[in-house]
């Protein structure tokens, strides 16, 4: 390593490659140490763990590096390993499963949702704003108790008068308004208001009404069926909706039963869990929460979220998830379960469609990010859980029951 630096180093008073090795080591000691850590130590570490037959989780941390002339290089490596545990019985487990029944009320609710998605908004011109209308407004609110606080602002906001979630003071003060008007009023927020930055405060609002609209929901008839589907009659649409609901409900009740089975297995083991895997699982949960907020158009920085508390509250479930994953990996190994290229490609095609990018591009990116192997592992674990379910005893239970029953 010193010889490499000696060949290229520029030391005043010495020709390239002629400076004494001791001077090179002294001048570039920190660089040489860092390069040793980054290149040589990982190689020797990998050899050592193979000899010891250890399954390392994450990256090792090297400390107490001792690197002196004519002495062996020594250091301490700290790392986590996958737990070694004996696989217990995973076939013949019993679990309750509620019936996958679809009611008329379920179908009616699904059709109502289709109606809501097909609804349009029409401008109201012949009257003032009334309950159930949508006022389009610009607003600015100032904290009555703190003149230095940043104002609360919104532009082109739709306020659903008397709608669920609308602050009552907005409904009361915007009712009867017309485009072009300005309404000024005061709002006192409850101490337990969901938006913590406003909880317990009093704000003075100035609201400019830009327009008023009403939601128009299409009638539930054959014309509606034609407009939202390939079916020509409402009865045909109902039949298809019922069929889809039945398939979805069957999948949901099976998924819940599988999770109960996995919960039984998790409760039967007490092996230690690598904390790096737990932290990674928590990170994934928080990333999903962030993605959910962003998909709703919410800036995570604008809402009061105690991320530290959410992180700690997520830990117990994350530990169960990791333990369950390790158990399923063990089952997959015992059953010699594998994921084929075609199965992996099918998942990638679905993800590509969701992300609106070519499957080949997505596959390349997932491979580079190291996520393709994670997807394959998740599929393999799902196969293991499916096998446990197929070899279990499934007992019908009332829909309200969540536990297990024996026949």
pLDDT digits (tens, 9 = 90+) for 164-190: 989 999 999 999 999 999 999 999 999
Please tell me whether residue 255 adopts helix, strand or coil conformation: helix
Higher pLDDT, 138 or 288: 138
Please tell me whether residue 76 adopts helix, strand or coil conformation: strand
Residues of the chain with CATH 1.10.3120.10: 94-101+232-396
Q: Is the pLDDT of residue 63 over 90?
A: no
Question: Per mean pLDDT, which range of 29-33, 37-41, 211-215, 226-230 is the poorest?
Answer: 29-33
Q: What percent of the chain has pLDDT over 90?
A: 57
**Average pLDDT over the chain, rounded to an integer:** 86
26-33, long-range: CB < 8 A, 24+ apart: 31/5, 32/1, 32/2, 32/5, 32/67, 33/65, 33/67
What is the predicted pLDDT for the residue at 34?
65
Report the 10 Å Cβ neighbour count for 401. 13
Q: Is the pLDDT of residue 52 over 80?
A: no
What architecture is the 2-80 domain classified under in CATH?
A: 2-Layer Sandwich (3.30)
What is the predicted pLDDT for the residue at 45?
75
Paired strand residues for 61? 78
Domain 120-216 has CATH 3.10.50.40: yes
Of these ranges, 71-80, 200-209, 277-286, 300-309, the one predicted with the greatest mean pLDDT is 200-209
Q: Is the pLDDT of residue 342 over 80?
A: yes
Kindly state the average pLDDT of the residues 238-247: 96
Question: β-strand 133-143 against 202-216: which pairing, if any?
Answer: antiparallel
Six-digit token pair at 102? 């679809």
pLDDT band at 402 (very low <50, low <70, confident <90, very high): very low
The 10 Å CB-count burial string (b at 16+, else e) for 123-144 is ebeeeebeeebbbbbebebbbe
Higher pLDDT, 318 or 17: 318
Q: Is the pLDDT of residue 375 over 90?
A: yes
Q: Between the CA of residue 42 and those of 46, 79, 259, 356, what are the distances in Å? A: 6, 12, 39, 39
**By CB neighbour count within 10 A (0-12 exposed, 13-18 middle, 19+ buried), where does 159 fall?**
buried
Report the 10 Å Cβ neighbour count for 225. 22
Question: What fold does the segment set 94-101+232-396 form as a domain?
Answer: Trigger factor, domain 2 (1.10.3120)
Q: Is the pLDDT of residue 334 over 50?
A: yes
For the stretch 92-148, pLDDT in tens is: 999 988 888 999 999 999 999 999 999 999 999 999 999 999 999 999 999 998 988
What is the predicted pLDDT for the residue at 1?
46
Q: Is the pLDDT of residue 54 over 60?
A: yes
Residues of the chain with CATH 3.10.50.40: 120-216
What is the predicted pLDDT for the residue at 299?
75
Of these ranges, 45-59, 143-157, 303-317, the one predicted with the greatest mean pLDDT is 143-157
């Amino acid at each position: 390593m010193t010889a490499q630096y000696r060949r290229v180093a520029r030391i005043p008073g010495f020709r390239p490659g002629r400076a004494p090795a001791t001077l090179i080591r002294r001048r570039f000691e920190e660089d040489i140490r860092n390069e040793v850590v980054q290149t040589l130590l990982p190689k020797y570490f990998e050899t050592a763990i193979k000899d010891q037959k250890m399954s390392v989780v994450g990256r090792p941390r090297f400390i107490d590096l001792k690197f002196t002339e004519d002495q062996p290089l020594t250091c301490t490596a700290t790392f986590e390993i996958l737990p070694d545990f004996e696989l217990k019985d995973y076939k013949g487990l019993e679990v309750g499963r509620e019936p996958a029944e679809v009611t008329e009320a379920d179908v009616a609710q699904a059709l109502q949702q289709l109606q809501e998605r097909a609804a349009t908004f029409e401008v109201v011109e012949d009257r003032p704003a009334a309950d159930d209308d949508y006022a389009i407004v610009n607003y600015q609110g100032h904290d009555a108790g703190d003149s230095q606080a940043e104002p609360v602002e919104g532009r082109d906001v739709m306020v659903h008068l008397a709608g669920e979630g609308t602050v009552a003071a907005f409904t009361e003060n915007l009712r009867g308004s017309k485009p072009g008007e300005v309404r000024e009023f005061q709002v006192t927020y409850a101490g337990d208001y969901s938006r913590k930055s406003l909880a317990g405060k009093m704000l003075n609002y100035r609201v400019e009404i830009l327009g008023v609209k009403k939601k128009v929901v299409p009638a539930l008839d054959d014309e509606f069926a034609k407009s939202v589907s390939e079916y020509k009659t409402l009865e045909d649409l109902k039949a298809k909706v019922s069929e889809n609901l039945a398939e979805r409900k069957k999948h949901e009740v099976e998924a819940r039963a599988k999770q109960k089975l996995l919960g039984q297995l998790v409760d039967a083991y007490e092996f230690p869990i690598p904390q790096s895997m737990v932290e990674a699982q928590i990170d994934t949960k928080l990333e999903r929460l962030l993605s959910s907020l962003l998909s709703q158009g919410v800036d995570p920085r604008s809402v009061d979220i105690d991320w530290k508390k959410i992180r700690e509250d997520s830990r117990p479930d994350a530990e169960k998830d990791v333990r369950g994953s390790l158990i399923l990996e063990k089952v997959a190994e015992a059953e010699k379960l594998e994921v084929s290229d075609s199965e992996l490609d099918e998942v990638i095609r679905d993800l590509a469609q969701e992300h609106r990018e070519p499957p080949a591009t997505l596959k390349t990116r997932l491979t580079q990010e190291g996520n393709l192997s994670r997807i394959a592992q998740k599929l393999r674990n799902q196969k293991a859980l499916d096998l446990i379910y197929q070899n279990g005893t499934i007992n019908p239970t009332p829909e309200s029951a969540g536990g297990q029953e024996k026949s």
